[in-house]
Amino acid sequence: MRRSLLIPASLVLLAPLYLGCNSSDIPTTMPPAAQEPYDILAHLKYLAVRKDYKDAAMIAPITPDVVFPSAMHLHNDAKQLGLTLTPDELKGLGIDAKLAAKLDNLPGGPADDYTIQDARLAFNAGIYRLLKALTPNTWAKMDSMGIEDNPGMRQYGSSAIVKDMTLGYGGTKIMTVTCLKKPDGYWGVSFIRYDVNPKTLKQN
């Protein structure tokens, strides 16, 4: 799923629209539903720092064709980065022991013992599991470095609207967040990929 992160010149010209929104502030209450891809950033900061796990559902995809494969990829990547969830985090995310045992080896589709309800819980947990690699101070510095169309994600349907948002700070790209316009008209997250290993970042 690796894609080019080159940003077209037309989007570079639009960058100030995304960079001047006080995104260094960590929200203290759950942000409203994302009306634009950039709005996802406040949710990521809030979820990662405030640990209000209910917020994950605000940016989660809805349809099974997205939820199942995305949950699998999120947890696979988190496992490779050595990120785990504590018992308290699992409880807060609504993950019971049976589902917790599957997180590192999720299927990409439904199974007799893995339903869409399970996949949605797993997806929410996968988002938080990846976000927790960064400290609150790092999240406070994170900002959008550009948003571009992602026509390569057409597996979600020919009419799917998908955009990639690059996040980072100090000129360093940290992660790419693939944002998907949901059937309800709001934006959600379908995938997160670190562009650098968070273990190599100097965080405090």
Greater confidence (204 vs 110) lies with 110
Region at 171 (left for phi over 0; alpha for psi -120 to 50; beta for the rest): left
Highest mean pLDDT among 3-7, 150-154, 165-169: 165-169
Asked whether residue 153 is domain-assigned, the answer is yes
Asked whether residue 59 is domain-assigned, the answer is yes
- Answer yes or no: are the C-beta atoms of 109 and 68 closer than 8 Å: yes
Asked whether residue 158 is domain-assigned, the answer is yes
User: Domain of 106?
Assistant: 33-200
Q: What is the pLDDT of residue 17?
A: 34
Provide the token pair at 105. 């080896």
Provide the token pair at 76. 């696979």
Asked whether residue 27 is domain-assigned, the answer is no
Asked whether residue 90 is domain-assigned, the answer is yes
Greater confidence (4 vs 185) lies with 185
Alpha-carbon Rg for the chain in angstroms: 16
Q: What is the pLDDT of residue 179?
A: 95
Compute the distance between CA of residue 153 and CA of residue 161 in angstroms, rounded to an integer.
9
What value does the mean pLDDT of the chain take? 87
Q: How many domains does the chain have?
A: 1
Confidence category of residue 152, pLDDT binned at 50, 70, 90: confident
Confidence category of residue 9, pLDDT binned at 50, 70, 90: very low
Provide the token pair at 133. 């690699």
Asked whether residue 25 is domain-assigned, the answer is no
- φ, ψ for residue 192 (rounded to 5)? -130, 130
Judged against a pLDDT cut of 50, whether residue 6 lies above it is answered with no
Task: Encode pLDDT of 36-68 as tens digits.
Answer: 999 999 999 999 999 999 999 999 998 999 999
Q: In angstroms, what CA-CA distances link 52 with 21, 136, 163?
A: 22, 14, 25
Region at 180 (left for phi over 0; alpha for psi -120 to 50; beta for the rest): beta
Judged against a pLDDT cut of 90, whether residue 95 lies above it is answered with yes
Q: Please state which of the ranges 65-74, 97-106, 153-162 shows the lowest mean pLDDT.
A: 153-162
Confidence category of residue 204, pLDDT binned at 50, 70, 90: confident
Asked whether residue 159 is domain-assigned, the answer is yes
Q: What is the pLDDT of residue 7?
A: 35
Asked whether residue 5 is domain-assigned, the answer is no
